[in-house]
Amino acid sequence: MNFYFLKYLTGYFILALICLSGWSTFLFAQDASVINENGGAKENAEKKETTDINKPHYQSAGKCVSCHNDPALLQIFRTPHGQGADSRTQFAEKQCKTCHQSEQAHGDRRKMTALPAPGHQVVLKFYRDNSDSAKQKDAPCLGCHQRNSTHVMWQDSKHQRAEVACVDCHQLHPAKDPALDKTRQFEQCKSCHKKQSNDFRKANTHPVRQGSMGCSDCHNPHDSTYKNALTYSRESDLCWSCHAALRGPFLFEHQPVTEKCTLCHSAHGSIHTGMLTRRAPLLCQSCHSSRGHPSLSLTPDSLPGRRPSPFVLSQSCLNCHAQIHGSNHSSGGVLTH
Amino acid sequence: MRTVDNQLTVRQLIFLLISSFIVLDGHAVELQTQAKNESALFKDDWLCQKCFYPEGWELDFESGLAYLGGEPYYFGHYTGLDEKGAHLLADLSAEYWRKDATFFSFQGKNLGLESRQFEMTGGRQGIFQADVFYTAIPVRQGNQGETPYLGAGSDTLTLASDWVAASTTQDMTQLRTSLNQVTLDRTWKKLGMALSVNPWENWQLDLQYSQIDEQGKSQTAGSSFFNTAGLIKPINGKTEQAVLMALYRSDAWKLRVSYLVSDYVNRYESLSWQNAYLSTSGQLQGQQALSPDNESHSLDLTASWQWLVHTRINGEVRFGQMTQNQPLLTQSLAASQNSYLSSNAKVETFNAKLKLSSRILQPLNLEWVIDFDERDNQTPEREWLQFENQFSSPFYQSNFAYDYQRKQLAMQGEYYTSNGWQLLAGIDTERFSRSHQERRTTQTNDLWFQTRTQLNEWAGIDFRLNSESRNGSDYQALRDEKGVQNSLMRKYHLADRDQLAARFQSMFYINQHIDLLLEFEHSEEDYNASLVGLAQVEYQRMGADLSYIFSDSSSTYASYSQESYRSIQNGSQHFADADWTGTARDRYDVIALGIKIPDWLERFNLQLEFQVADSKSRTQNDTGGLFVEFPLLKSRWEQVKLELEYPHNDSWFFTVEYRFENFDSNDWALDNVEVDTMPQMIAMANEPRHYRINGLYLTARYLITAESSD
C-alpha cells in the first residue's frame, strides 16, 4: 500500500489542528459551561447531584399520572425507559420530568410555557407545533444514548445536521417504538424520504415494503462516518454481507463489480429487471464495444415474429455472459463459464 | 456435491441463548448489587403508586386465516402467499418482566407462512442482553418457465434419452415434446444471535453471529459461442458471519474496535449440462463454475473525540482481506489443461477516514473530511488458455487483478444567520486510480450549496444545488488478447462528465391540521467527450404530499409523485465512429391515498389505503437516420386495502381486512418468446410477471396483560 498520500494529509491536518486548537482555546477558554452542546456533560453533572432522593421532583410520576392517565401514555412502563431498576433510565431518577416540563413550569394549565423552570435545563413538550430546537429536544436523550455503540458518530451526522430530533423518529411511550421495529420502520422513514419510499413500490426491489428488511439493515441513521449513512464503509461490503456468493474474489473479475454495485444496480428499487439502473443491452453497451463483438444497433427487428435475436430477448447480453459478477472457471475470461 | 458440517440449528441457538442467560444472570446479580450499593438510585419508596409497573408474563397472540383468490404466484414474492386458498396467519408476542429489570421477549410474525420471522431477547437491562433472531424471505422468480433439461435444482442437467441434437432450435425434433415446467423459487433464511454485555462502567462488549442459508433455483445460461440455452442453476450456499465489538466511552472519548469474519460455502461447485446442439468436435457437455467458497475478514477501529470546546474529531481505520482458493474446474473441452489448480485469489483492502468538525465561531461550523480507500488485489496474474467452443481455436487470456485507490478530501461550512437561515456550502475532491482500465485516474470536483430555513410559522424551505465535473488522465489501449475496445468508447464511470443537480423542498404547515410538502428535483449529466458510450442523462422528480389531521388520532393523506429519466448513448457497429444512437425514456408515477380513523363509530379502528405505481419505459434507436422504437415496456401495481378492527374488550380484538392487489407488466424481451423462438437459443419462455389477488384476512387477537408489581 502506498502511504504517501496519508502521510501528507496527516501532516496537513496536524498543522490545521494545532492552529484551530490555539484559536478555539483563545476564543472559548472562558466558556466552560458549554463544554458539551448536546447536554451529555450536563446530564452527567446533574446525575451526580441526584443521590438526594428526598428532592420532590424525583417523585413526580405519581402526580403526572393522576392526570395523564391515557393507557397509550402508560405503555412507557412496558419499555426499557420505564424500568426503574435500571439506574440509567428516567424512572430511576426524575421520571416524567427527565423529558417533560416540570410542574413548576406547567402548574398553570392555561400557560404551557416553554420557559425553563428554575434549576431545570430540560424543558420540553413533544407535540406537533413544538417550536423547541432539535438540540433542546435531543438533550435528554443524548445524555444517555450518545454512549451507545450505534451512536458513536451521531454528532455531525446528516440527521443531526439537518436538525432531525430523536423524537422526530422515535416514540418513547408505545410499548414498541415503530422506528425500532424492522417490520414497521419503513413507515417511519418514508415520512421524510419520499423518493426512497416510492422506489420500494417499483417492480424490482428489496423486501422492505413487505417488512422482511428494515431501512436499518443497510443504514445507520445515527452515524456520520459513511456515505449515505451506510452500515459499512465500502458499499460493496454492505451488499456482500447478504450476497456473499458474489463477493469472490473471482479468478476473472468484472471490474465495476469490484468497485461499486450501484454502478449497475439501484439499491432501493428499479422498474427494470434485476434492479438494474438501465436495461440491457443498452446498459452493457455503455461500456463495451470491442473488435469482433461490436456494439450492434439493436432494433425491434430482433423481436419475435421478425428475426428474433438472443442479443435482445430473454436475458439479452446475459444469455451468454451469464457470469456477469465474475467467473472462477479457467475459461471464464469473457464471463461465460 | 460437497457437505457442510457444523451448522447451527435453531434449537442449538436457543440452547446457547438460555445457557448465556443463566451464566450472565448470575454475573448480573452481582454487578447490579454492586451498582445499587454504589449509586443507590432506585428505591422502593420512590415508586409511583399510580404507575403501572408490569411484572410477569404478557401475551399478545393474533391468529387467523387469509383467503386468496385470483393468480397469486408472484404475490408470494417476499410474502410467501403464493397459492390460492386459505393460509394460516399467526403472530405471537410474549413478554416477561421482573421488578429487577430482568426481561424476556419473543416477537414472532407470519409464523404460519414461509416469510416467518422472530426475535427472542432476554437479559437484565443495563447489564447484559442476548438475542436470537430469524428471518426467512421467499423469492419467486417464475413458475411458467419451460426447459427440455431434466434435473432442475441439481448440478447436472441432462436431456431426454432420445434427444436428437441439431444445429438450431427449429431442427430439434424432440424440443417441443420434452419440455418440463420449472419454477424459479428460492428461500433466503437468516438465523443469528447477539450478545451484549456491559462488563464495567463505560464498556460494552458485543458478539454477533449469523448464518444465511439460501436454497432453491435460479436462472442462468450456458453458451458455446454460437449457441446458448437458458438453464437453471442450483442455489445452495451458506454464509456465516461473526462480529466481535468492544466499545469504550467517556465524556470526551468514544472508541470502538470490531472484528468481522465472514465465510461463504457453496454446496455446489459447478453446473454441468448436456449439449443440446450438434457438435462437430464431439463436445457433449458444458460446464459453468458456480460461486466459489470464499472468506472475508476485517478489523475496524473507530474513534470520536471531543477535542476542544467546540471541536470534534471522528476517525476510522479499517483493514480487510478477502480470499478465495477453491480448486478450479477441469476443462470441459478435450484439450490441454491449464497447469494451475486454483486461482489463489486474495484482495486486501484498507480504508481510513478522518473527520474534523469545529464550531470556531458560534454561528459558523466548519468540517474537513479526508477519506482513503484502497483495494489491493494480490491475485497472481497468469495466462489462461481459453476454450470457448468447438469452432474457435483456444486462445490465451490473462486474469486481471483489479486494484483501485480512492482519495477524497471534502470541506464544508455551515452558517446560521441571525434570522434563522442555515447556509451550507462545500467542495469535495475525489481522485480515483484504477488498474487495467483505459483511463488510469479520474478526478471529480463537486461544488455544492444548500440553504434551509423556517420562513415563518407555517412554511419552511430546503434548496440544494450541486455542480460536479469529472476529468482524468489520457486514454490508453488495454492489454487484452480477446478483444480490443473501440478507442472512442468512454465507459460511463470513467468518462469526462459535467453534472448539475438542483433539489427544492418546501413544507407548509397550513394550519394546526393541514401539512403540505412539495418537492422538485432535477439533474443533468453531460458526457460531452464521449463519442461512443453514454452521452447524456437527465433525471427529474416532482412530488406533492398533503396530510390532514382531523382529530387527535384520525388523519387522511394524499400524495403524488412523478419521476422521469432519459438517457442517450452512442454506439458503433463498425468499430469506428458512432453510427447509432439509443435513447431510453423511463417514467414512473405514484399515487397514494389513505385514511385512518381509530375511533370510527366509537367502536372500530378503520384504515383505508389506495395506491397505484405505474411505470413506462420507451427505447428508441436511430441508425443513420432510420428511427425505430421498441414496444412500450410497462408495469402497473394497484393496491386497495381496507382494515377494520373491532376491540371487543381489553383482551379480545377482531380484525377484518380486505386487500386487492393487481400487478401487470409488458416486456418485449419476454413477450411471445417461446423455447424455440430464437434459432441459436433454447429460451426459458418465462412470461412477464403478473398477479391479481383478492384477499380476505380474518384475525382474532388475544391479549393477556401482566399484573402491576405495585
Long-range contacts of B628-633 (CB under 8 A, 24+ apart): B628/A299, B628/A300, B628/A301, B629/A300, B630/A299, B630/A300, B630/A303, B630/B668, B631/A300, B631/A303, B631/B666, B631/B668, B631/B671, B632/B666, B633/A271, B633/A279, B633/B665, B633/B666, B633/B667, B633/B668
CA B106, B111, B112: angle at the middle one, nearest 5?
A: 160
Which residues from chain A sit within 8 angstroms of residue B323, using beta carbons? Answer: 249
- What is the rounded average pLDDT for all residues in chain B? 88
- Residue A100 in any domain: the answer is no
Which pLDDT score, from 0 to 100, does residue B392 have?
Answer: 64
Which pLDDT score, from 0 to 100, does residue B30 have?
Answer: 53
Phi-psi region of B390 (alpha: psi -120 to 50; beta: other; left: phi over 0): alpha
Domain count, chain A: 1
- Pairing of β B270-274 and β B156-157: parallel
Which pLDDT score, from 0 to 100, does residue A128 have?
Answer: 44
The three cell numbers locating residue B310: 467546540
Contact B53 A289 (CB under 8 A): no
% of chain A exceeding 70 in pLDDT: 72
Segment 169-228 of chain A within 8 Å of chain B by CB: 183, 194-195, 198, 201-203, 207, 210-213, 224-225
Closest CB from A37, A74, A320 relative to B52: A74
- Residue A253 in any domain: the answer is yes
Which pLDDT score, from 0 to 100, does residue B47 have?
Answer: 56
β-bridge partners, B507: B460, B517
Which residues from chain A sit within 8 angstroms of residue B326, using beta carbons? Answer: 328
Which residues from chain B sit within 8 angstroms of residue A292, using beta carbons? Answer: 482-483
CA B473, B477, B481: angle at the middle one, nearest 5?
A: 150
The residues, any chain, with a CB within 8 Å of residue B295's CB and separated by 6 or more, are: B261, B262, B263, B264, B322, B323, B324
Reported as a single tens digit per residue, the pLDDT across B589-600 is 999 999 999 888
| Cα distances (Å, whole numbers) of residue A134 to A328, B105, B361 | 52, 32, 20
CB of B203 closer than 8 Å to CB of B271: no
The length of chain A in residues reads 337
Which residues from chain A sit within 8 angstroms of residue B302, using beta carbons? Answer: 152-153, 225
Least confident of A34-38, A216-220, B466-470, B578-582: A34-38
CA closest to B268 among chain A residues:
A245
* Buried/exposed code over B298-316 (b: 16+ C-beta within 10 A; e: otherwise): bebebbbbbbbbbbbbbbb
SS3 A176: coil
Which residues from chain A sit within 8 angstroms of residue B501, using beta carbons? Answer: none
Contact A248 B292 (CB under 8 A): yes
CA of B12 to nearest chain A CA: how many angstroms apart?
22
CB of A125 closer than 8 Å to CB of A152: no
Whether chain B has a CB inside 8 Å of the CB on A273: the answer is yes
DSSP symbol at B190: E
Q: Quick check: A91 pLDDT over 90?
A: no
CA of B27 to nearest chain A CA: how many angstroms apart?
15
Which pLDDT score, from 0 to 100, does residue A90 have?
Answer: 75
CA dist., res. B285 & res. B271, Å (int): 10
Contact B491 A161 (CB under 8 A): no
| Cα distances (Å, whole numbers) of residue A262 to A278, B151, B259 | 11, 35, 26
- Residue A254 in any domain: the answer is yes
Within 10 angstroms of residue B171's Cβ, the number of other Cβ atoms is 14
Which residues from chain A sit within 8 angstroms of residue B100, using beta carbons? Answer: 85
Which pLDDT score, from 0 to 100, does residue B186 have?
Answer: 95
% of chain B exceeding 90 in pLDDT: 67
Which pLDDT score, from 0 to 100, does residue B44 have?
Answer: 46
CA dist., res. A207 & res. A202, Å (int): 11
Which residues from chain B sit within 8 angstroms of residue A5, using beta carbons? Answer: 372, 407
Contact B678 A308 (CB under 8 A): yes
- Pairing of β B253-266 and β B383-386: unpaired
Range B272-287 average pLDDT: 82
Q: What share of chain B is helix, strand, coil (3-state, %, to 5)?
A: 5, 60, 30
pLDDT-based confidence at residue B2 (cuts at 50, 70, 90): very low
The three cell numbers locating residue A327: 467467473
The three cell numbers locating residue A29: 477558554
Contact B355 A225 (CB under 8 A): yes
Segment 26-85 of chain A within 8 Å of chain B by CB: 27-29, 31-32, 34-37, 40-41, 44, 50-51, 53, 58-59, 61-62, 65-66, 69, 74, 77-78, 80, 82-85
Which one of B78, B140, B545 would you mutate to disrupt binding with A, by most A Cβ within 10 Å of its Cβ? B78
- Residue A239 in any domain: the answer is yes
Q: Quick check: B307 pLDDT over 90?
A: no
Tell me which residue range forms the domain holding A324. Answer: 234-290+315-337
CA dist., res. B528 & res. B535, Å (int): 6
**pTM across the whole model:** 0.87
CA of A203 to nearest chain B CA: how many angstroms apart?
7
Within 10 angstroms of residue B363's Cβ, the number of other Cβ atoms is 12
- Residue A97 in any domain: the answer is no
Q: Quick check: B612 pLDDT over 70?
A: yes
Which residues from chain A sit within 8 angstroms of residue B331, using beta carbons? Answer: 330-331
Which pLDDT score, from 0 to 100, does residue A183 have?
Answer: 86
CA B687 and chain centroid, separation: 25
Range B295-322 average pLDDT: 92
CA dist., res. B666 & res. B590, Å (int): 18
Which range has highest mean pLDDT (B158-162, B212-216, B392-396, B602-606)?
A: B212-216
User: Taking the CA of residue A66 as centre, how many other CA atoms within 13 Å lie in the half-sphere pointing to its CB?
Assistant: 7
pLDDT-based confidence at residue B490 (cuts at 50, 70, 90): very high
Contact B322 A74 (CB under 8 A): no
Range A259-263 average pLDDT: 95
- What is the rounded average pLDDT for all residues in chain A? 76
Which residues from chain B sit within 8 angstroms of residue A244, using beta carbons? Answer: 212, 237, 239, 262, 264, 294, 296
Which residues from chain A sit within 8 angstroms of residue B313, using beta carbons? Answer: 17
- Residue A142 in any domain: the answer is no
Which pLDDT score, from 0 to 100, does residue B401 have?
Answer: 94
- Residue A265 in any domain: the answer is yes
CA of A32 to nearest chain B CA: how many angstroms apart?
8
For the packed helices A134-145 and A40-48, what is the interaxial angle rounded to 10 degrees?
A: 60
Alpha-carbon torsion, ordered A130, A135, A137, A141, to 10 deg? 170
- Residue A41 in any domain: the answer is no
Q: Quick check: A2 pLDDT over 80?
A: no
Range A277-302 average pLDDT: 90
CA dist., res. A337 & res. B270, Å (int): 10
Reported as a single tens digit per residue, the pLDDT across B390-448 is 556 777 888 999 999 999 999 999 998 888 889 999 999 999 999 999 999 999 999 99
Segment 290-319 of chain A within 8 Å of chain B by CB: 290-301, 303-305, 308-310, 312-316, 318-319
CA closest to A318 among chain B residues:
B221
Closest CB from B251, B360, B367 relative to A24: B360
Which pLDDT score, from 0 to 100, does residue A78 have?
Answer: 86
For residue B698, give the H/E element and its range.
strand B691-704
Closest CB from A65, A203, A308 relative to B48: A65
Contact B367 A251 (CB under 8 A): no
Reported as a single tens digit per residue, the pLDDT across B342-372 is 889 999 999 999 999 988 777 889 999 999 9
Which pLDDT score, from 0 to 100, does residue B251 have?
Answer: 80
Closest CB from B262, B308, B492 relative to A286: B492
Q: Quick check: B26 pLDDT over 70?
A: no
Which pLDDT score, from 0 to 100, does residue B3 have?
Answer: 43
DSSP symbol at B293: P
Q: Tell me the residue ranges of DSSP E strands in B141-184.
A: 145-147, 156-157, 180-182
Grid-cell match 398477479, residue found: B691
Reported as a single tens digit per residue, the pLDDT across B670-699 is 999 999 999 999 999 888 999 999 999 999
Contact A201 B493 (CB under 8 A): no
Which residues from chain B sit within 8 angstroms of residue A291, using beta carbons? Answer: 483-486, 575
Contact B402 A253 (CB under 8 A): yes
Range A130-155 average pLDDT: 77
Range A178-201 average pLDDT: 91
Reported as a single tens digit per residue, the pLDDT across B95-124 is 998 888 899 999 999 999 999 999 999 998
Long-range contacts of A24-32 (CB under 8 A, 24+ apart): A24/B308, A24/B309, A24/B310, A24/B311, A24/B358, A24/B360, A25/B308, A25/B309, A27/B360, A27/B361, A28/B308, A28/B309, A28/B310, A29/B309, A31/B309, A32/B309
Contact A195 B541 (CB under 8 A): yes
Cis omega (within 30 of 0) for bond into A281: yes
The three cell numbers locating residue B708: 402491576
Closest CB from B202, B324, B385 relative to A249: B324
Closest CB from B97, B287, B671 relative to A337: B287
Q: Quick check: B551 pLDDT over 90?
A: no
Which pLDDT score, from 0 to 100, does residue A122 have?
Answer: 38
CA dist., res. B476 & res. B454, Å (int): 52
Q: Is A204 exposed, middle or buried (0-12, 13-18, 19+ CB in 10 A)?
A: middle
CA closest to B218 among chain A residues:
A322
Which pLDDT score, from 0 to 100, does residue B6 have?
Answer: 44
CA dist., res. B350 & res. B660, Å (int): 50
The three cell numbers locating residue B412: 464544508
